[in-house]
Structure formats: structure tokens, C-alpha cells
Structure 1
Amino acid sequence: MSFEFGTGENYDIVDSLLRHEGADLSKGRDKAVRESTRKLEAMLHELTGECDAAQVGQLWTAARNVLAILDDASDGTAHAQVQQASWGAVGNAVEKIAEARAYAPDVADHPRLDEITALVDRLSANPYPEPSSGLDDDDLLGWGNWDVRVYAASALIDLCRRFGDRDPSLIDRLEGLAFDPVPTVRLQIAQSLNALWDVARPKMWELATRIGREEPHLGVLGFFVGGPLRRISEPEPERAEAIADEILKRLPRKNGEKTERAREPAAEPIAGLAARLWIGRGRSAARGWIDEWMFDLVSGEPYLWPLISTIRTGLFETYVRPDDETSVGIQLRSKELADQLAQIASELMRESLNQVQSEDATLEDRARAETRYQVAATLLDHVSNQLYFGSGVFRHGGSNPGEDIPGLIDGKAKKAFLDAYSDTLDVIGHSGTAHTLHHLVELYEYLADAAPEMVFDRVAELLVGPAQREWYQFESLGSDALVRLVRRYLADHREVFENTARRGRLVAVLELFSGAGWPEALKLLYELPDLLR
């Protein structure tokens, strides 16, 4: 494939920006620099993927032409922003060349390794991007076309991956960009550091350790943990755990206080690493992190929420992959985590509610207690959702291509699940909010065929007990779920109501929802004597 480009009066946003900065693109050095750069920009714009060998040569030729004009304009006769835009285009081109598998330093029209390395050195010394004056930019990791050092760092890590063993000086250059003053530059190295695994492993660990100890930007840390550290934790878990320990020591946490951020940028990848090491491999160090987060649910919530999300498939491992030797351990650890979180959240909800209702509590005490209650209720609901969605309830009646396999696909698996998770379901049922309890009722409905008597007794106890305290009987979805469940039982499992006590529980549940004003429940209550004959 070759590049084609032409000239015309088409709108050029770069030209517009440069004119706004005071550049005169109609004459002199500014015109010459921009005309040369436009050709390079056109080539870059036409790229739709990785460069092939011909494109590498064309990009290099165009970049050298721009460089020659930039060197001629270095006396200050070209506008500073015109020069910067051109350096940005050159940096972009170098990045594309370095990442291309088709690039070969020994091919005639490709840059020699010393040539492209020298150019990366020049790009690395560029003043852009400038350090931000913002004090709270941990979520901001964007960059523009003129941020030259970003492209230098990206190109350098690619060159190290492919040619670091051939030219060790490439590896030596990494440190300067890995600890650049600007986070987006450091990001290019931090998120790809595992590229050194085969060419410079000692240097990789040295830089990884320093990043763990020194990197101040939470977003950069997040990409580092979720990328390189996660990957290298597989072959070397101890060293990865040591680096993660250093990071956790530095992350901001205040006991008993909820973070103002909806999610800490580094929390999700660290939670994912913890899940990988503890649930997947039973590593005790990662279990220690999890225990610390569970000790204080409020400050630990940014980590616990994504951690809970990871256990969904693990809760059903032995039902989906019964022949996999690792399934038993994964499910046991996932269940252990779900059980503990549910129990801790339930206890915190009860304690917090008592404090809110206490006559001796101050307004400040009540506010803190309300926060603890909300966090605990949210985490309990999240644990419940892993059981609900993982079991296959939500896809009952069909699933979409590409979705995970439902965790419970037959009656045998459903019965085994009920036996294994009955205590967990009890804890959720005892303390869950109306939203949580509704999903629990639907989960029981999905499991009903596997153990009709057990399921009905649990649902009835739930509805006239904890759910009633949460005013669930006034929820329209609750009435719909109850009526649907009862009609299904009357159609498929009528024999369970031959038991007098169970029949009495059925009447009590229908009376509860009828009293809340739901006509379908009332109608079913009136029809019940005939339906049970």
C-alpha cells in the first residue's frame, strides 16, 4: 500500500490553531515548515492500522524532510507553535515506525537503529508536554498531537522490546522517561514495562520496584498494576506482591471515612490483582490485603467493590467445570470471600441502624452511621448480585451469544448450589434491602424445581419476616414475583401444599400482599381454595 495525498482548500484544524497563535502560514519559514509537515500529517491520517514495510519507508522519508526544514528554522525564524506542531508530527511518525513489526533497521529505506535512536533522543528533550499546574489530576491521562515526549516514550519502549538485546543503550534511556515530570509520558513506560521481560529482566524489575515506591499519579499506578504487574505476577508472584505492598502503603485511605471519589483509579486493578493471586492461586499475601479492606468496609469499599465483581464465575466453578482440578479451590475461596463479606456487611448494617436510632447519638454520629449503613448495604447487594447473575437467573429462558455460561444449568447443579450456599442466602435475606431481597426472591424462583419444598419455605419465611420489615410487600415488582411464583407452584408443585403448615404459610404471604393493595394477590387468595382442591 502507498500513500496518496493532494492539496486543496479543505479546512485544516492545525492551520487554524496556528493562525490563532499568530503564525503567518502564507510566507517565509512558517509556510515552508507547514507545507512539509502537512504531507507527513496526511500520511499519518491515512494509516488505518500498523504500517507495512513500504509505509515505514515513506514515513521515515517524510519525517526526515520535516526534520531538515525544522533544523533550518531553528534560528527562530519560524513561529514556535509551528515548529512544535511539526515536532508532534515527527514524534507520531517515529512511534508508528517503532511499533511496526515490518520495521527492519537493515532495510535500505528504513531508519538504521542508531538513526531512529538519535531521533528519539531529540524527541525526549522536547519541552512538550509541560508539567500541569493542576493539583488533582489523578484521573486525567490524555495527551495531544503536540505532546512530543509522549511519542518518544512510546517509541522507546517498542524499540527496547524488539532491539534491546541488540543495543543495550536503548534500555539505559528508559529511566529518564519512566520518571518524567509529566504523568502521560511516564504512563507509556509504566503500562508496557513487561516488554522488557525477554530482553532486560533485571532492569524491568528495577524500574517496576521504583514505580511501585515512587509513582505519585494514581492513574499511572492503575495502568501499571492492571497491565505489567498483573502479567508478571504469574511467573513471579512473590516479587509482584512485594511491589503491590509498596503501592498499597502509599495509597490514600482514611479509616471510617468514605472517599470522595466514586472509584479510586488504582483500586480496581489492585483488587483484580488480589483476586488473581488469592482466588486463583491461594496466595496468602493477597489474602492479607483483602482482610485489611474488610476490616473497615467504608475505607475498603473502593477495593472491595471491584473485588466482589471478580468472584462471580468462581462461585460456580465446580458446576460449570467439574473436571477441572483447580475448580474446587477457586470455588471454595470465592465462597469464603462471599460468606465473610456478607456476614461483615450484615453486622455493620445492624450496628449502624442501632446507632442511627439511638437517642444518645449526635447528628455527626448519625451521619457517620448512615454512611456505614449505605456502604454495607451496597456491598451486600453486590455480593447478592454475583449469585443472582452468575446463576443464570437473568438469562432464564435464553442467553445471548458471547455471554458467560450460566453457573447453574440443570437441577443437579441447582440443588448442590442450594445445599452449599444456604447460609450465605440466609445472611443476605436477613439483612438485605428491598432491592436485594427482590433479586433473592427471583433467585429462589429460578431454583424452585430443584427443591420445591425447601425453596417455598425459604421464600415464605423471607417475605413475612425480613422483607416485610423492608416494606417489600408494597413494591409492585414484589407482588408480581410472588404471584408468578405461587401460580407456578400451583401448576407444577401443588403437592407441596398438602402439608398443612406450608399451606398456612402460603395463605399468610398472600394475605400480606393483598393487604398492601395488590389486586392480583387478592384474586389469587380468593381463588386458592378451588386451586388447591
Structure 2
Amino acid sequence: MSISWGNWDVRIYAADAWVSLAPRFSADHPVILDRLESTLDDPFAAVRLQFAQNLHVISGADIERMWRLAQRIAATECNPEIIATYLLHSMPRFARSSPERCEAVLTTVKSRLAGELRGEDGGRSSLEEALGDWIASLFVGQGRPLARAWLVECAADPHLYEAVLSRFVQCLRGHFFDRYATVDGVEDCAICDRAQEGLGLVLAQASATAADAYSVLGADVDDVAKSAARERYRATAMLINNAMNQLYFGSGAHAAQMAAQNTQNAERPGLQDANAMARFLEDYAEILASLGGSREPSTLHHLIELYEFLIPGNPTAVFEAFHAILLGSGREEGYHFESLGNSAVVRIVKRYIADHRGIFEDEGRRARLIAILRLFSEVGWLDALRLLYDLPELLR
């Protein structure tokens, strides 16, 4: 639900006034703390929100009382948006100084999340996204074991916790590439390691769940089972696509596509040279292979374009990955019928012929190149057909 108010909701402005007074005067005037605490009993959610999103203002006067009220919000507040706002706007100030206290509050919230605090109709909620933020902050940012345990638990049920996991992955886009920066710090590398570990945990279970759901959709089962499988597949496919997007945009692959179209992109690429690309291909080989098993053309297309960007890192390995995707899940799901797919494949093959034709001196690899072009030419793509006919001359 959305929390809003109008100009005549006086109690809201009174609560806001007490919040404004607290940082300067609450230490000497405890009545301010009492009045603020009383706002948490107000039946109007917008009144409670004023204090919940600014709970930190009383930390200087009575930090123990602040944590006690934080636990109260986590345990008894019935509006998920108020809890989420507290988690996202007030509690982060203490993530580094008091991680144990933050974890205690989050433990209470998490215990309620699977039940009474689930989003309406089981949908995504700001509270679930807040939990994803905090798991990223505590596990990836600080290496907290409890947060890692939460991630493992959520990853075990990607259908139920899709919103938590998607937000977790979104928070880490830049961190997936920290170790490939020109100047690496030990802490940055550790954060990158944990980000990669977290992504691997999420993708492994999401891919397994998606594969299982997909098999049910093709089986002779009743409508109830198919409906449940469809929901599981939808949630996990969205999660996998989200993970793919973080690598695609964070690596610089999207920026490279924009540059090729003379369009500016302000995002700094995570992989800035061939050496970084080669390391990334090696480090993320298992994750990239997992993404290659997706049955969603949009996910496969971004993976193809990511591999295109990574060609300088290892042209041979990238070509073999292209072949595995296009002749594997890509063919099964009809990627070769997509015009964007044809354009990408023709562009990539031309680049290989221009810059890396030597790798096709291997007879088996040349046969795999022909198989790719034949796949696209057989469904009527003239550019692919023209390349197929010209290939002997081009590789001479």
C-alpha cells in the first residue's frame, strides 16, 4: 500500500516537528523521546512513518532506546512500507558500527517476511527489496556469516524470494568487476570474491529450479501442477535475466554497443582491456555457462553480446561459447528466428573473419562456424546465407 497524506493532516506535521527537535534537544528534554515513541502507536501509518524513517535522530540521546524501538518496529509494525523505509533510510547509518544490532533487527523482519509481511498477492514488496539490500551490504560488503546464511536460505527457494534475490544481485553490479580495476585493493578484491560467490549461489539454484519447472511444463500433468510450474519458471527466468543484465551492463558490453551506434553511455566499463576480459572469462566461466542454459531469448541475446564484447580476452574460448549457445539452448528456443539474433551473429562472424580468422584453420572449428551460419541461413536470413556462400573465399 502507498502511504500519503494531505495538507490538513496535522498529526503528521507534529510528528515531523518532534523529529526536527530531537537531534538538538532530546538529551536534555526526555519528553521529546516520549512524544516520538508515542507516534509509533498512532493508527495513521503516515504519522508512524515520520519517526520510523528518522529513528536515528535519537541515537545521540539514548541509543539503547533507539535499538529497542527498532526491534519494536521490526516485530510489531503492520505496514511493510514503514519497516522497509526504516531499514533503507535510518538503520544503514549503523551498518558498519553496529552490524550485530542490525542483524538482530533483520532477523525479526525476516521471520515475518514469509508470512504476514509478504507483498500483496505474493508480489514484490519494498520490504523484500530492503532485505536484499541488507544481505548485499552485510555479506558482500562486510563478509558477515549470518547474512551469507540468509542468502543461502533465500537462494534455496528462488520462487518465494525472487524479489530479495533480484535486489541482492542488482546491488552488486559494480562489485562484480572490482578485482579488474587498474588499481586493486585487498578489500575490493574480497568484496568482488563475495559478490561472485553470491551470484553463483543464486544462479545455481535458480537455474536448477527453472529447468525443473520447464520439464513439468512439457510433461503430461494436470493444470494445477502446470500453473505452479509456470509461476516457478516465470520467477526464476526473471531472476536469471536480472543477473545477466548486471554482467552485461556492468562489464561495458552495453556501452560498447552504444558506442558502435554513436550513442554516448556514461557508465564506466568494468572491463577496460583484453587482460581484464581474459581474467573475467576464466573467473566467471561457470557462471557464464549457467547463463548459457537459459531458455529465454532476451537473456541469451545479452549473453551473446557480452561474449562479443569479451572476444579480445580469448577469441577461441568465446567462439566455442557462441557455438554452444547457438546450437544448444538457442536453437531449441528459436533464437535463430530473431532478427536481433541474426544481426548479432552476422556481425560477430564478420568480426572473427576480419580479426581472428586464424582460429578457423582448425577443421573442427571451421565446421562449427559453418553450422552456425547454416542454422541462420536455413530459416531465410539472407545476410547469413551470403556469408555462408562467401566463407571459402573469406577464409582463404
TM-score normalized with structure 1 length: 0.71
2:86, 2:320 → 1: CA distance?
50
Aligned pair 1:183/2:45, yes or no? yes
Aligned pair 1:370/2:230, yes or no? yes
Equivalent pairs counted in the alignment come to: 391
1:252, 1:156 → 2: CA distance?
34
Aligned pair 1:522/2:382, yes or no? no
Aligned pair 1:433/2:296, yes or no? yes
What residue is the counterpart of 1:343 in the other structure?
A: 204
What residue is the counterpart of 2:140 in the other structure?
A: 279
Q: Per-residue displacement from partner, 1:459-490 (whole Å, max 9, x unpaired)?
A: 11221112101111101000000000011111
CA radius of gyration, larger in? 1
Partner of residue 269 from structure 1, selected from 122, 130, 136: 130
Q: Per-residue displacement from partner, 1:185-221 (whole Å, max 9, x unpaired)?
A: 0000000011122222122112112111111111101
What residue is the counterpart of 1:486 in the other structure?
A: 349
Percentage of pairs with the same residue? 37
Q: Structure 2 matches for 1:232-311, cutoff 5 A?
A: 232-253=94-115, 260=121, 262-311=123-172
Residue 265 of structure 1: how far off its partner (Å): 2.5
What residue is the counterpart of 1:173 in the other structure?
A: 35
Partner of residue 80 from structure 2, selected from 215, 218, 243: 218
What residue is the counterpart of 2:329 in the other structure?
A: 466
Aligned-partner SS, 1:144: coil
Q: Per-residue displacement from partner, 1:349-408 (whole Å, max 9, x unpaired)?
A: 22112222222x21101110111111111111111111111100110164857x442110
What residue is the counterpart of 1:313 in the other structure?
A: 174
Aligned-partner SS, 1:291: helix
Q: Per-residue displacement from partner, 1:277-306 (whole Å, max 9, x unpaired)?
A: 011001112122222211211111121111
What residue is the counterpart of 2:374 in the other structure?
A: 511
Higher relative contact order, structure no. (Cα contacts within 8 Å, ≥ 6 residues apart): 2
Q: Check conservation: 1:258, 1:298, Cα contact below 8 A.
A: no
Would the alpha carbon gap of residues 400 and 518 (structure 1) be closer, same or farther in structure 2, given more than 3 Å must change? Answer: closer
One-letter identity of the residue aligned with 1:302: A
Residue 179 of structure 1: how far off its partner (Å): 2.3
Q: Check conservation: 2:152, 2:201, Cα contact below 8 A.
A: no
Q: Check conservation: 1:321, 1:327, Cα contact below 8 A.
A: no
Residue 181 of structure 1: how far off its partner (Å): 1.2
Q: Structure 2 matches for 1:432-451, cutoff 5 A?
A: 432-451=295-314
Q: Structure 2 matches for 1:25-104, cutoff 5 A?
A: none
Partner of residue 412 from structure 1, selected from 275, 279, 283: 275
Q: Per-residue displacement from partner, 1:478-526 (whole Å, max 9, x unpaired)?
A: 0000000011111111111111111111111100000011011001111
What residue is the counterpart of 1:118 in the other structure?
A: none
What residue is the counterpart of 1:66 in the other structure?
A: none
2:182, 2:129 → 1: CA distance?
27
1:295, 1:460 → 2: CA distance?
31
Aligned Cα RMSD in Å? Answer: 1.8
1:285, 1:461 → 2: CA distance?
38
Structure 1, 202-211 or 155-164: larger mean CA deviation: 202-211
2:172, 2:66 → 1: CA distance?
31
What residue is the counterpart of 1:69 in the other structure?
A: none
TM-score normalized with structure 2 length: 0.95
1:199, 1:259 → 2: CA distance?
38
1:214, 1:348 → 2: CA distance?
34
Q: Structure 2 matches for 1:118-129, cutoff 5 A?
A: none
